[in-house]
Amino acid sequence: MSDAYLALEDGRVVEARGRVPGRTRGELVFTTAYTGYEESLTDPSYEEQVLTFSYPLIGNYGVRAERFESDRVHPRAAVAREFTDDVVEWLADEGVPAVDHLDTRDLVTSIREEGAMKVGIVVGEDATPEAAKEELAKCKGMSEHVDIGTQVTTPEPTTYEGDGDKTVTLIDCGAKQSIIDSLVERGATVHVLPYGSTADDVTALDSDVLFISNGPGDPENFGAARELVEEFAGEVPIAGICLGQQIVASALGGTTEKMAFGHRGVNQPVRDLDTGKVIMTTQNHGYTVADPGENLEVTQVNVNDDTAEGLESEALSVITRQYHPEAHPGPHDSLGFFDDVLSMADSEGNGRKRRVVASD
């Protein structure tokens, strides 16, 4: 008899082997990355989701804290064909339910064909299909998590010192540590502010760039960050990554929409419309910019589905990317984005009254 069950929104109940006991629920998504399971599991963008790994063996090079992107595991549960004991011990310490010994290829195919779906999971000696269905019935959609930004943000303002003279104010909507590190490595001092910070908080720092970070969930639920973009657009250079791109677009007259199953993995091809060059990128998002509006220009698109991967406005000094240029894990094709962000601080004649940076 199985000691783990997954009740899917499509009506199926899947049996599995329980590795870490517990009961939970969330949006079932998958990643195609072969490596980087430590980074993925600690990425705040997976908050309120159940992460399925399409690669069959997870944990074959151990677990090292220096690879973590935040201070905890964010998915509500983890699913794989097989987890090593190292990963199981880590997830157990974190109190995150985990299951394996199921056909993840079939699970991933279902998500691709039917879209990301709700799932209820029970793991343990008393696990039953009925209990999994009870969890499923309590599961919210991602758009219903209206306070998700406060769940993943830094508890207090934090400054990371760089050895140069440029400064960035980063609004933490669920930022990965490697985004901050990428800016600091280029000499920038990064002031990380909690989600919900006010325009006065940003103005007080008088930074060169306002950066809106990555993060989980529906961009429509990040009104506080959107208000900051509206306030500082045209006055301070603004940048954004992933959720940050969606927030910036929404603030400047664009619209966003939920994708069927999103982009999650380290092999997403992106074409630059100016040069025609294609780069490989790391991505993790379930929403996208449907229409950038009149203030932003689409500069890069996804080769597979033509969704917007890069937005810019020379007039407003705005640059955003839907993918993760810091690439932890993933290819380093797009690291130059951070140089482009900091170069905005050197531009003259942009008429800014304040100097701030935004991150997704």
**Is 287 known to sit in a ligand binding site?**
yes
Half-sphere exposure of 53 (CA within 13 A, CB side): 27
Q: Which residues contact 331 (CB under 8 A, 6 or more apart)?
A: 266, 267, 279, 280, 281, 282
Burial state string for 245-267 with b = 16 or more CB within 10 A and e = fewer than 16:
bbbbbbbbebebebbebbbbbbe
**Is 217 known to sit in a ligand binding site?**
yes
**Is 350 known to sit in a ligand binding site?**
no
**Is 243 known to sit in a ligand binding site?**
yes
Side chain identity at residue 173, one-letter code: C
Instruction: Tell me which residues are annotated as active site.
Output: 242, 324, 326
Nearest-angstrom CA–CA distance, 43 and 71: 9
**Is 18 known to sit in a ligand binding site?**
no
**Is 284 known to sit in a ligand binding site?**
yes
Nearest CA to 40 among 28, 48, 51? 51
Nearest-angstrom CA–CA distance, 3 and 221: 36
**Is 267 known to sit in a ligand binding site?**
no
Task: Please name the helix (run of DSSP H) or strand (run of DSSP E) that holds residue 268, with its range, or none.
Answer: strand 255-272
Nearest-angstrom CA–CA distance, 166 and 315: 21
**Is 343 known to sit in a ligand binding site?**
no
Per the annotation, where are the binding residues for L-glutamine? 45, 215, 217, 243, 246, 284, 286-287
Binding residues are: 45, 215, 217, 243, 246, 284, 286-287
